[in-house]
Structure 1
Amino acid sequence: MEKLNQVLLNPALQVGPDLAAWLQAGGGLGLQAALNAPTTIIRQIADADLRGMGGAGFPAWRKWEATANAVGDNKYVVCNGNEDEPGTFKDRTLLSASPHQVVEGALIAALAVRAACVIFYINPHQGQSLQHMRLAVSQWQDSPWLDKLAAALGHPLAIKVVASSGRYIGGEETAVVASLEAGFPFPRKKPPFPAEQGINGQPTLINNVETLANVSHILRHGAAWYRALGVGKAGGTKLYSLSGDVLRPGLYELPMGTSLQELVFHYGGGMLQGKAFKAVFTGGPSNTLLTARDLDVALDFDSVWLRHSRLGTGAMIVISEGSSIIRKVAEYIDFFAKGSCGQCPSCKCGTFQLARLLDRVDGGRHSHADLDALQHLCQILPGSGRCGLIDGAVTVVKSSMHTFPQEYGLTAPAEA
């Protein structure tokens, strides 16, 4: 089946933890270009408009610049591979099939911010990803590249692989810092941001696996090449994790800005059993639902935001007519309730209460008072936690009540 503009999933680069094969396929050229002109790296990342692919879509260069400008003798770069959200399965593919493009991107980032240590923070539940990254990193440690980097930096560069806690909340960037400081992955209030004060109080750059995997290609081919891969104003490619009620679920690398219609009905083969498209959970289960009227939306960060949702990780969980939205929402809120770290009572108790009420609604055992309680919780809980978990949980509940009020037995849409 046709797949357009493959960069990260280019079959020639799927060499596993084999550094020699990676270099044979053109690996190392991006790192060499960075070594030749280290002061231009951040500008090239900015010109490419590389976004953070872990969820927020924040311009990568801003984090890089903040870390580079921060004062610290032992800066860190962390590759966040804690991927644990329902419907998202892109990072584990990159880590398993092509770990060296992730390592090379992280090394370029280390050169840009003048880091002393690179850490690959990998979900232990993804056993092959963890194994392949350890093998890949050991090969870089035995290669001449680290000597070249040490010479350019003026100090040695350590690289290592660390298993994360495996908890969903452990992927939040301040929780990453807490975990790597040998503690429980409790999120922390920001500011300070990790770029200012991260691991052991040192400036720390934290980027998602997919973000870093793009870096060597940008340095090798140039920012203009990368931008031209996208559609419209969007640049580059995006990994879309397509799942749910489609004929061909899977991981698709397509131009950033590909329409939802094209992803679902061309690449995904359309709906199962010929059913009609009902809705999609975008970027995982913590965003506003999009419906059939949004099939024309371009799947890039800005366009999806204009539809009052978020592209997030690029996960697209498709729901067909005849399937219960409430049941899916109840499943996801139960996931959030179990994933809450318990640090903030409003989050721990709030997600538990949301899950309890949704289970009653799904089972048809609810009262009008239960619906009132759901709407009241959605009003008072946002902004009450140290991280975005409770906000994401509320967002999807509010969206489902507003978009599909009839499933809740409401006579009018709930407040969005």
Structure 2
Amino acid sequence: MDKLNQVLLRDEIRVGAALAAWLAHGGGEGLAKALQAPDAVIGAIEQADLRGMGGAGFATHRKWTPVADAPPGDKYIVCNGNEDEPGTFKDRFLLEHTPHQVIEGALIAAVATRANHVVLYVNPHQPAALAALGQAVQQWQGHPLFAAIGQRVGGAVSLRVVPSSGLYIGGEETAVIASVEGSFPFPRRKPPFPAQQGVHGAPTVVNNTETLAHVPGILRHGAAWYRGLGISGAAGTKLYSLSGDVLRPGLFELPMGTSLQSLVFEHGGGMLQGKEFKAVFTGGPSNTLLTKRDLDVALDFDSVRQRESRLGTGAMIVVSEGTSIVRKVAEYVSFFAQGSCGQCPPCKGGTFQLMRLLNRIDTGRGVRADMEALENLCRIARGSGRCGLIDGAVTVVESSVHQFRAEYEALLTA
């Protein structure tokens, strides 16, 4: 684990640690400030420029504000810890190693929005995270700080852990809502948005685990402190899940805006011996690939978007020269095909056909007509599903063809 910055990854707080240990190291101070001035919380989050760390980088205060403005009644804060995408492993670390920080962030969100239900939604394939959260929840429920929240939101607050379906699609925010309601995680069309109609029809905030983990520090130290942690105008820190062909894969907390070059070659130790950098799948395998000419890019939401890609979850899957891009893309599209919920026929059928065509090309059985079919399918499939699964599959295929067309054509037999 990188030691440069430990805003989120606090070594002194380990699995199973008592709530008292978290509070002894400054935990709870952010929640106490929120209880003293609940109407100032959302403004602080906006000034800090906290973004959603689960994918799109949507401004956190814009999710919270409509829920806070909704009339009194049932409201939900849902911590989304489903995390099931290849190459992403940041949230499970937070849930296992600093569950009190995540819970405090969710409770601050409840104070700010006057929500009376807090749900910690966790992938059941992460038993250590479930165990740590279960213990942490029991400790919070018996603490005076938790009791004080009810006085601010106008009634008793529920705090519970809900295992997800364990399916990839279960991390999409409307699928999260369906799962919390006890249904199969079918994504729903938007609008209505969760802030308008979420769990059981109530206003709902769905935030990624890492997003909520940033909140206590912002309330404790202030928005200016948080913004100052970033580089060149980017705010805060980011957890980067680095994997693939590097010497030191792992989880690194670094200033938001750290360059791709620095992440791979300084913190990641560079490429495996005898290997050269070829490309990186950013934010998991559902985004545009970055190549050698992008090594200077600052890893923040806006800078990566300017390179026509997305930072996403901060996962960086590094690929070296000599590794087949076609093979990698075929593997990831297979993951998407298996993860499709089947609700939208264009998505289910489209991802399956993309997988079939990629496998034909990858195994040397493809012809030029297969390549043309692959590109045509990408053109017609985008936007055909209720969620972004088919769009993610299309994006990585189109990007790989654009960047590495010669690799594809070299595999065609005719």
TM class by smaller structure: over 0.9
Q: Per the alignment, in what secondary structure is the counterpart of residue 162 of structure 2? A: strand
CA distance in 2, matches of 1:166, 1:212: 21
CA distance in 2, matches of 1:191, 1:88: 28
Q: How does 1:34-113 map to 2 (within 5 A)?
A: 34-71=34-71, 73-113=73-113
Q: Per the alignment, in what secondary structure is the counterpart of residue 119 of structure 2? A: strand
Larger mean Cα displacement after TM superposition, 140-149 or 110-119? 140-149
- Give the C-alpha shift of residue 105 in structure 1: 0.3
Q: Compared with structure 1, are the counterparts of its residues 331 and 352 closer, same or farther at alpha carbon in structure 2 (3 Å cutoff)? A: same
CA distance in 2, matches of 1:95, 1:237: 18
Q: Which amino acid aligns with 1:407?
A: E
Q: Deviations over 1:64-103 (max 9, x none)?
A: 1021112351000000000000000000000000000000
Alignment of 1:306 onto 2:306: yes
Alignment of 1:196 onto 2:190: no
Q: Deviations over 1:43-78 (max 9, x none)?
A: 000000000000010000000102111235100000
Corresponding residue for 1:260?
260
Q: Compared with structure 1, are the counterparts of its residues 88 and 69 closer, same or farther at alpha carbon in structure 2 (3 Å cutoff)? A: same
Alignment of 1:285 onto 2:285: yes
Q: How does 1:21-36 map to 2 (within 5 A)?
A: 21-36=21-36
Alignment check: 8 A CA contact 2:32 2:145 kept: no
Q: Which amino acid aligns with 1:187?
A: P
CA distance in 2, matches of 1:15, 1:32: 24
Corresponding residue for 2:220?
220
Q: Per the alignment, in what secondary structure is the counterpart of residue 261 of structure 1? A: helix
Corresponding residue for 1:414?
none
- Give the C-alpha shift of residue 26 in structure 1: 1.2
Corresponding residue for 1:363?
363
CA distance in 2, matches of 1:69, 1:366: 56
TM-score between the two structures when normalised by the length of structure 1: 0.97
- Give the C-alpha shift of residue 180 in structure 1: 1.1
CA distance in 2, matches of 1:281, 1:93: 21
Q: Deviations over 1:142-180 (max 9, x none)?
A: 111221111122211110000000000000000011111
Q: How does 1:8-407 map to 2 (within 5 A)?
A: 8-14=8-14, 16-71=16-71, 73-407=73-407
> Where in structure 1 are there 5+ consecutive unaligned residues?
412-416
CA distance in 1, matches of 2:4, 2:166: 33
Alignment check: 8 A CA contact 2:50 2:59 kept: yes
CA distance in 2, matches of 1:179, 1:256: 32
Alignment check: 8 A CA contact 2:10 2:98 kept: no
- Give the C-alpha shift of residue 181 in structure 1: 1.2
CA distance in 2, matches of 1:347, 1:56: 20
- Give the C-alpha shift of residue 15 in structure 1: 5.4
Q: Which amino acid aligns with 2:11?
A: P
CA distance in 2, matches of 1:379, 1:359: 19
- Give the C-alpha shift of residue 410 in structure 1: 7.0
CA distance in 1, matches of 2:404, 2:146: 55
Q: Which amino acid aligns with 2:231?
A: V
Q: Which amino acid aligns with 2:324?
A: S
CA distance in 1, matches of 2:9, 2:229: 14
TM-score between the two structures when normalised by the length of structure 2: 0.98
- Give the C-alpha shift of residue 24 in structure 1: 1.2
- Give the C-alpha shift of residue 109 in structure 1: 0.1
CA distance in 1, matches of 2:337, 2:70: 36
> Where in structure 2 are there 5+ consecutive unaligned residues?
none
Alignment check: 8 A CA contact 1:34 1:108 kept: yes
CA distance in 1, matches of 2:289, 2:72: 42
**Alignment size in residue pairs:** 411
CA distance in 1, matches of 2:355, 2:348: 11
CA distance in 1, matches of 2:13, 2:112: 24
Q: Which amino acid aligns with 1:248?
A: R
Q: Per the alignment, in what secondary structure is the counterpart of residue 160 of structure 1? A: strand
Q: Per the alignment, in what secondary structure is the counterpart of residue 12 of structure 2? A: helix
- Give the C-alpha shift of residue 377 in structure 1: 0.4
- Give the C-alpha shift of residue 14 in structure 1: 3.6
